[in-house]
Structure 1
Amino acid sequence: MTNARSEFRNGWRVVVGGFLGVGIGVSSIYFYSLGIFLKPLAAEFGWSRGEASLGPLVGTTCAALMAIPVGRLIDRIGSERLAVVSLTVLAAAFALLGWATSGLASFLTFTVILSLLTAGSSPMPFTQLVVASFERARGMALGLVLAGTGLGSILIPAFLPGYIASNGWRAGYFLLAGMIAILLPLVALLLRSSSPPMPQRNTSRPFQKVIANAAFAELAVIFGLASVAVLGTVVHFVPMLTDAGLTPARAGQFTALIGVAAVCGRLATGWLLDRVQAERVVAGLFVSAACGLVLLALGGPALIPAGAVVIGLCVGAEVDLISYLVARDFDRSDYGQAYGALYTVFLVGGAVGPGIAGATFDATGNYHIWLWLAATMLVVAGVISARKSSGDVTRSKAR
């Protein structure tokens, strides 16, 4: 069995290529720009906050529908090919949004196209490459690759709000398309040269038996609740701050704190997963994120940095944890299907969360009720995981 250093020496291309691929993928550059486009689009077309939130709802729902098929495609055609094609389509879809959006119907139509055809640029194929290449240092390797969301969660909020304020939201979409086009050739080169071993598709079990694994239901509840709470808050974070009187540029700077903390949180999560029982890591992260939401609900501008940092430590850690736990609790030949099923739950939560947050804002004129509701969901998810960690958490592999 190779040691951790040897794994990184042999698999560094997977880590670097995966880091960049995740960073320009749909779960990073698209998700972390949603809240920034929300108010400019609503202002130009006269949408309510709830109508503007239909974009995240429709897009994430369509991505959820594609998660299981993408998992099967990974097993069939390979992660590298699927990721490169999906990233190419994502760049084209951003350009289409900037060029052809003329109202709510067209915006939602292009969002559906983007979400259905770019699901292969989610973390799923990149984490499969890590699972195939790493064992002893799998947690840290996953943390490094998924820290690529920092490209989106730091750079996008820091620069895009000011850029849109000066050049318009259409130019913002063109900028995102250009970022992907510039980095895509390097990602393709790194992933093509890595070529980790792939499981044989004919060894996997029927999908119904994969999700019948005893681990699946509990993981679905935990990560479903967490995704509703965390993703619903992040999408509305910039509007939340500008409603409090901050300029778009200043709000973007505070939002970038989430990205910085997310990178640190991913690396810390990966390090912990190689050393600490995974269920305890889950419980600690989610309860900490709940505390961050409470800070935002109770405090004024002085508590925004602290709340952003605490939330950021947990943002996206769900994906690290899903990847790690699927690799641990399911047979490797079932990785694509099991990950796709849990990622579907995660995305459904991400679709519902922004919609609920937008609806509560329309009903009350603020986000206070939403923040308390989201904090409660995270506490419940943490308690379920802590309860699991106190008992026998040894799981049998799917056979």
Structure 2
Amino acid sequence: MTRGPATPLPSPKARRRLREAASLTQTQLAERVGVAPGTVRAWESGRTTPRGRKREAYARLLKTLAEEEESAARQAARTPQPAPPPKTEPTGDRASAPEACPGAEAEPEPEPEPVAMPMPMPMRGPAPASQARSTREPVPEPRPAPAPLTPAQAFDALYEFSAPALVRQTFLLTGRREQARESVERAFQTAWERWPEVARDRDPVGWVRATAYEYALSPWQRFRPRHRHPEPPPADPGDRTLLNTLLRLPPRHRRTLVLYDGVGLDLPETAAETEASTPAAAHRLLRAREAVAGRLPALADPQVLHRRLAELASNERLGAARPPTVRRGGERRARFRTRAAIAFTVALIGTTALTVRTAPTHYEPPVSPGQAVRGVPPRVAPGSLSDEELELRQKLRDQMQDGPERLSPQLE
């Protein structure tokens, strides 16, 4: 049974704009679709894409919001705008001023502040209060606005803020120091390649964290040569036991436990980052806690488990590379992929041209392979007859052949 094409969806930026134009919060939109608010946040940021029935329901809701927006725009275009009331010029005649309401006291008009004028001679006597105040308290000059950060500076700030913590968190998922560092660096390199999208995301750290976790828990990591050589375990026996317990959990349960009890995300955000429903994330969390408590009963309390996970990640000396090194590595990898794609395209074009040049222009039937014919006597040269052959030939000549005589046709 073939599966039909997926329902088209607008871009993440357009999804957010339609929701805000309809004055809906992420929680209200999530209730109408039937998902968690964190899932809607992930959809609007582009980290995840809805699938199945949720995608169809989300597409129908966005289409309805777009139609409502178009109808509202057409209605506003047809409705004439009221003209602004004419402004009355102020005059010095008090009779033209509006009458005061009965029973209300007329407020005295504020006197205009004196304007400093150049005087030929210095003024004698006390200066006006407003002038004295202005001389005592100078008006502070407006501070210049800070210069906006360049993309490289913003990336470096994000990397220095979140990279060390992400390396420690990834170590809890993999139990390998080099793999944790490489996963975080690859995630930041991907973020640098897609920096305009990541910079506009509401949670750039969550975007990078999800990418690093996906790379670290990828199934093909087990086929790498260095995966066959185990790294030295932690020195503390308690940390070693806790790390072994974490590595025995399924990858999905391990990731859910690290996000909820290690990082400190709430359940909807954990479900959105692991691309699961909230009940499924809660079930994985409970199963992971049961497995850890069964092996380490002292960690049955979530607060104690959170503290032990933080201690395990902090006890390891896990450093991260400098931001310029990560950026240069990402740019170098992007250039390599671009050159490889160009070389492959050139090779494909050359192979196609060579094939077209050397291909036959007409059909030539293939020559069938030869086969040996059996039952044919070998060709030999004639020789002298033996005595038996001579006797047989003479006998055949002397005797009459059996059979009907030769008939000659005659007319009747």
Global fold match (TM > 0.5): no
In the superposition, the TM-score normalised over structure 2's length comes to 0.20
Q: Which of these two proteins has the greater Rg computed from alpha carbons? A: 2
In the superposition, the TM-score normalised over structure 1's length comes to 0.21
